[in-house]
Amino acid sequence: MVNVYTSNLGYPRIGKRREWKKALESHWSGKIEQAELEERIKTLRHEYLHTQVEKGVDLPPVGDFTYYDHVLDTAVMFGLIPKRFGHDGGPVSLDTYFAMARGNQKAVACEMTKWFDTNYHYIVPEWEEEMVPTLLENRPLRAFREAKRWGINAKPVILGPFTFLKLAKGFHPDQFSRLLLDTLTPLYAQVLQELEAAGADWIQLDEPAFVTDVTAAEMEWLHTAYSRLADAAPGLRLLVQTYFDSVSAYSDLIRLPVHGIGLDLVYGREENLASLQKHGFPEDKVLALGLIDGRNIWKTPLQKQLNLLEEIREIVSPAAWMLQPSCSLLHVPVDAAEEQELPSELAGVIAFAHEKLDELSILKEGFLHGQAVVAEVLQENAAAIETFDQASFRRIPEIRKEIANLTSTAFTRSHPFAERQEQQEKFYSFPLFPTTTIGSFPQSPEVRRARKKWRTGEWSEERYREFVQKETARWIGIQEEIGLDVLVHGEFERTDMVEYFSDKLTGFSFTKHGWVQSYGSRCVKPPIIHGDVAFHAPMTAEMSSYAQSLTEKKVKGMLTGPTTMIRWSFVRDDLPESEVALQIGYALRQEVDALESSGIAIIQVDEPALREGLPLKKHKWKAYLDQAVRAFRLATSSVQPQTQIHTHMCYSEFHDIIDAIQTLDADVISIESSRSHGELIHAFEEKTYPLGIGLGVYDIHSPRIPTEAEMLQTVERALRVLPPTLFWINPDCGLKTRREEEVVASLQKMVQVAQAIRQQWQKTITS
């Protein structure tokens, strides 16, 4: 009989009710000591492992759990601790670990950016000159031994050496092969040898970088590296796990000296299947197939996936089969059974982590013993999906017709930027280097309590509106006192920049406990796009107009762009994303018109997620960027030339998309540059950017107060390549997650920097 196993790649860290987040933040705020934090986290690990075993997972993972980020865990394990954190050798303390992730008053945090094309952020490893990596602590071994004490023979998960090095920064590309083969491989070999000695069997080496464009030289290095790892621990079975797309060099990958290969048959389905058909699969290796969508919340069409398994069984005969999700389940919420308030048709097709593990067991039974064994479950699954697909809210014919009839003028501003700039200079009379913020101000405990009272009915709509207006007025006053040039209303009525708008558009639904990790303890609750999206009433004009009535300075209207709405939602899978993007862009266009009509002359349409959605293979970039640009321009092109359109992006390698950013035709774009330690500026050193731009001068994700010298350094470097007459000064992201005292102190320093640089350049320009 063929051997069939179920395997999980990773489990959500946060808990059903965000217990993990609450424990971390209690420790950071000084409410609990480190010992209590560690005990709470241990309890969660125990619960998560036993849940997976109870769900029938044959190979549950360990080592996927973390106190902040799994990439940071790997860097710390190998001693990649930047000098500024003062580490003097030995295992890294939890305080140093958190300082690397969040920064402190003595040292800025390590860079943070998006994990491939997901909405999860990882901490970027820094490879400083003269740094000598060493194995400080075998973290996977510790996790394996803990699980063994609990009676579970788990599968340690380790970020693979190729991917880890691809994610790191600080070394020259010419050093890549040497660092991979001579520096990292021996450390990985030591990790594996210690796991082998402890009795481990399968080891999952995560190599999602294999789905990017891998060169022939890199594959040659990989064969050398993995040969050394296989030789170092011959008693281990190594599983090279890929996900997020199809592998780039399949025929080379399957020749690696490992015991199993993991392929994504959800997001890399067509290309990976074609590779299996063309090249086959080794009979001495285990084929691990990602059949359950680990990134979205829709139920798996079980019959379709069983048919796919049968199709693959006709063309390959691996040593064994491993059935698993397409990637780690950290990208989905924990348990759909917690959701009691969704529409019945929608509730019938939702699957969170727990339900996805149940689906794995069903696929195993059907594949191992025949589909007749699970026939009833297959029928129920198909019926639920069909009922949902036929629901009336799925399609709005009028919206589809209106979008189909749009002409090219709907995607183009009435005047080119040069003419708009001239009109805007006369209309606004901003000083040189105008200052502003990205939009949100602190969601204080008072704000959260007020929102809860309103939602539970303790407060009336009128009382809640009065509270929000009072908080808005207070922060308009604070901004004026600080001396900012363009103000914002603070977004106190908004929980989340996507959820707020989704709640006011058709086509969206919301969960109550559908939280996922974004970065560190930061969790988000993505909306579900289940049907056609349509505008039906102004969403922001009232509050923006109220804020504008309180001040003589200009107040920005704040919207979230169509690509970010998609990237930060769970998106319907029955319609191309390009069509969903146009529907959202068309709805936002009507909101932009409403803002302009109500007297708001500056409108910011944020697209922080635009870069993160860039496909992992370059040949797919153009179609994606064309889609994103088209949706943004549909949303923003109807305004008058003197109306200034802003946008914002964060945590991205913008040199990849400079041309697309320019094509958005926004009058001003603000971009993060502080967390990446100014690296973004290099992109503008290589390419002229002719539109207005604001580079974030300090990192808002860290609790530390930036120094004026740090901000001034960022500004001065940027002004070597960017025109001063088009340059804005702002933080690198919204300020919702920071405390009020941090925000005020940081903005005061930022304005002082702007005033100093303004005086300096005013003399230069006038002379």
Residues carrying an active site annotation: 701
- Identify the CA nearest to 656 among candidates 671, 634, 637, 635: 671
Distances (CA, A) of 137 to 54, 89, 634: 30, 11, 52
**Does the annotation list 110 as a binding residue?**
no
**Does the annotation list 438 as a binding residue?**
yes
Phi, psi of 515 (to 5 degrees): -85, 145
Whose structure tokens read 């183009």?
412
**Helix, strand, or coil here: 714?**
helix
Q: Which residues are CB-contacts of 368 (< 8 A; sequence separation ≥ 6)? A: 1, 2, 4
Give yes or no for a contact between 231 and 188, defined as CB atoms under 8 angstroms apart: no
**Does the annotation list 612 as a binding residue?**
yes
**Does the annotation list 454 as a binding residue?**
no
**Does the annotation list 439 as a binding residue?**
yes
**Does the annotation list 19 as a binding residue?**
yes
Q: Which residues are CB-contacts of 678 (< 8 A; sequence separation ≥ 6)? A: 713, 714, 717, 718
Phi-psi region of 109 (alpha: psi -120 to 50; beta: other; left: phi over 0): beta
**Does the annotation list 231 as a binding residue?**
no
Give yes or no for a contact between 72 and 519, defined as CB atoms under 8 angstroms apart: no
Q: Which residues are CB-contacts of 79 (< 8 A; sequence separation ≥ 6)? A: 92, 131, 132, 133, 134, 135, 136
Give yes or no for a contact between 331 and 295, defined as CB atoms under 8 angstroms apart: yes
**Does the annotation list 20 as a binding residue?**
yes
**Does the annotation list 523 as a binding residue?**
yes
**Does the annotation list 114 as a binding residue?**
yes
**Does the annotation list 440 as a binding residue?**
yes
Token pair listed for 23: 């424990």
CA distance 189 to 417: 57
Neighbours of 741 (CB within 10 A): 10
**Does the annotation list 672 as a binding residue?**
yes
CA distance 496 to 515: 12
**Does the annotation list 585 as a binding residue?**
no
DSSP 438-476: -SB----HHHHHHHHHHHTTSS-HHHHHHHHHHHHHHHH
Distances (CA, A) of 93 to 87, 90, 204, 685: 9, 9, 26, 39
State the helix-helix crossing angle for 269-279 and 302-313, rounded to 10 degrees.
20
Rg (CA), the chain: 26
**Does the annotation list 452 as a binding residue?**
no
**Does the annotation list 151 as a binding residue?**
no
**Does the annotation list 606 as a binding residue?**
yes
CA distance 400 to 402: 6
Token pair listed for 508: 């969206």
Task: Detail the residues annotated as belonging to a binding site for 5-methyltetrahydropteroyltri-L-glutamate.
Answer: 18-21, 114, 119, 522-523, 568, 612
Mark the binding-site residues for Zn(2+), compressed into ranges: 648, 650, 672, 733
Binding residues for L-methionine: 438-440, 491, 606
Q: Which amino acids are annotated as binding site, given as ranges?
A: 18-21, 114, 119, 438-440, 491, 522-523, 568, 606, 612, 648, 650, 672, 733
